[in-house]
Structure formats: C-alpha cells, structure tokens
C-alpha cells in the first residue's frame, strides 16, 4: 500500500477533506494507496472548534461517505511523515511552500502543490468542489500508473 500525505495549515478543513475523500474514492476503485493528512502550523487554527470542520463532515455525509463518530484531532506534520510518504500534496502553493521552506526545506521542492484557497479567499463550496476535481484527477493519474 502506497502512502499519500496531504498538507494544509491547520489539518482541520482542506487536508482533512482531501484525505477522507481520497480514501473513500481510492477504496471504491481498489487503488492501493492510502491518504493521510497533517498540518504545517496547528497554532494557526486556534479558533477551530472540535477535531474537524463541520463543513467537511456535512459535505462528506451528503455525498454518502461516513465520517468516524469520533474523528481524530488535527496533527502536526513531522519530518518522519515526509520520509514515509510516496507522494506529498500541499493544498495551496502560495500559502504552504514558504512554510515548508522554513521548516522542512529539503522537502519543499519535492512536493506537488495545488492551488486551493482557504476560507479567507473562497467559499466552502468553491474550495471543496476544487478539491473534488483535484482528487478525481489525482486518482486517474495514480490508477494509470498502477495499472488499475
């Protein structure tokens, strides 16, 4: 099983949605990849309530994907997460590349960057719809390379 790591700032909204949607969809198409997610700066999410954004849970539930009754709390990325990942995707290059260069400089240029805005620049529907499209494109690419 290959490992995919999604990164965002607080591991509360964008990367959590990407992780949960990716895993649900990868399972459906029997792709031998498993997604995880981490945050680059959990302190930035000091106003987050609970372990995961209710917007993420609502959207996944509406799409028929169940979220664990007691989802885990956001997790800070560690150097070991990069070592064990086969692919790392940061959800917004302009936001996350500087954080990566400052804290994990050796990895900053080995990461795939998307361009998904946080709630300060886009509505939840816009953000999550873009993640939907990015996940589908990623699944298509990974499936083509794995022969699935």
pLDDT in tens, 83-112: 999 999 999 999 999 999 999 999 999 999
Q: Place 115 in a pLDDT band, splitting at 50, 70 and 90.
A: very high
Question: Cβ distance 19 to 33 under 8 Å?
Answer: no
**Is 70 exceeded by the pLDDT of residue 147?**
no
pLDDT at residue 137, rounded to an integer = 98
**What's the predicted TM-score (pTM) here?**
0.95
Quickly state the pLDDT bin for 66 (edges 50, 70, 90): confident
What is the distance between the terminal CA atoms of the chain, rounded to a whole angstrom? 13
- Cα–Cα nearest to 40, from 99, 97, 106: 99
What b-and-e string marks burial along 103-128, b requiring 16 or more CB atoms within 10 Å of the CB?
Answer: ebeebbeebebbebbbeeeeebeebb
pLDDT the model gives residue 146: 82
CB atoms within 10 A of CB 129: 14
Rg (CA), the chain: 14
Supply the pLDDT for residue 4.
Answer: 98
Domains annotated for the chain, with CATH where assigned, are: 2-146 (3.40.50.2300)
Mean pLDDT for all residues in the chain:
94
């Amino acid at each position: 099983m290959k490992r995919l790591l999604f990164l965002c700032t607080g591991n509360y909204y964008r990367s959590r949605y990407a992780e949960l949607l990716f895993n649900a969809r990868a399972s459906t198409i029997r792709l031998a990849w498993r997604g995880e997610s981490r945050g680059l700066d959990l302190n930035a999410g000091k106003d987050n309530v609970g372990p995961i954004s209710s917007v993420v849970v609502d959207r996944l539930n509406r799409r028929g994907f169940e979220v664990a009754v007691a989802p885990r709390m956001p997790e800070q990325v560690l150097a070991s997460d990069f070592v064990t990942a086969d692919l790392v995707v940061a959800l917004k290059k302009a936001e996350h590349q500087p954080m990566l260069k400052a804290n994990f400089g050796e990895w900053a240029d080995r990461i795939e960057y998307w361009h998904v805005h946080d709630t300060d620049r886009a509505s939840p529907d816009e953000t999550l719809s873009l993640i939907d499209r990015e996940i589908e494109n990623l699944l298509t690419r990974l499936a083509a390379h794995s022969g699935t």
